[in-house]
Amino acid sequence: MDGYTTLNLGSRAVAVSTVGYLCFGLAGWMISMSAAGWYSGQYGLTALFPLAVVLAIMGILGFVCGRGLDSIIFFTGATLFGTASAYKLLVGVGKVPDPVSYLGWFACLFAIFFGYIWAGSFKSGTNRMMFLLGTWLTLVIGAIGAWTGASGWFMASGYLGLITSAFAIVVSANEVVRLGSNVNPNIETAGPTVKPMAAD
């Protein structure tokens, strides 16, 4: 009975990480397409708020399942994308109280956060580590673009954001593939339940 309960909790943890990283990847991809100049800033951004809500829920469930790093990433993503959705809403109705350089500080503070989260992720697997590194660099470049007003920096952050979003989706896929490939229940029991997260 105890073995079954442990396996069940591990499976739930994998489900949380799969959905959470998928949402992060989708939201990041939509923002990055606009930053890269593929579409105008209004395309796809209406979906940011529901994705932010799902990320917040995944953050809570990740904490319950013992996925501490994933929980922190999802909560931060929910804050980031929820705020971006609210800002775009203000832009849409013509109410932008602050200059674009203000967004530079917003991105800078998030970059600092993701920077030290990346520094603490070296044992969490290559894909997670690369995802966090890409998120950090994307925000740094985006902050420089907001401060300088140079469109080239925004475009660079957009393309780097697309690559980073792809890594998030790879992490999502890797979680569920690893679960499906574990035919021995003992392997699953010794995986997500003992470690904070499965190594990529």
Say if CB 16 and CB 62 are below 8 A apart. yes
Give the mean model confidence (pLDDT) for residues 54-76.
90
Angular region, 39: left φ>0, alpha ψ -120 to 50, beta rest? beta
pLDDT at res. 157 = 93
What is the distance between the alpha carbons of residues 105 and 182, in angstroms, rounded to a whole number?
45
pLDDT attached to residue 31: 87
* Predicted local distance difference test score (pLDDT) of residue 35: 84
Average pLDDT over residues 154-172: 94
Output the pLDDT for position 3.
Answer: 39
Q: Is residue 4 predicted with pLDDT exceeding 50?
A: no
Q: 78-87, 95-104, 189-198 — which one is most confidently predicted on average?
A: 78-87
The two three-digit tokens of residue 50, written as one number: 């529901």
Provide the residue ranges of all domains of the chain, joining segments of one domain with +. Answer: 2-190
For residues 60 and 13, the answer to whether their CB atoms sit within 8 Å is: no
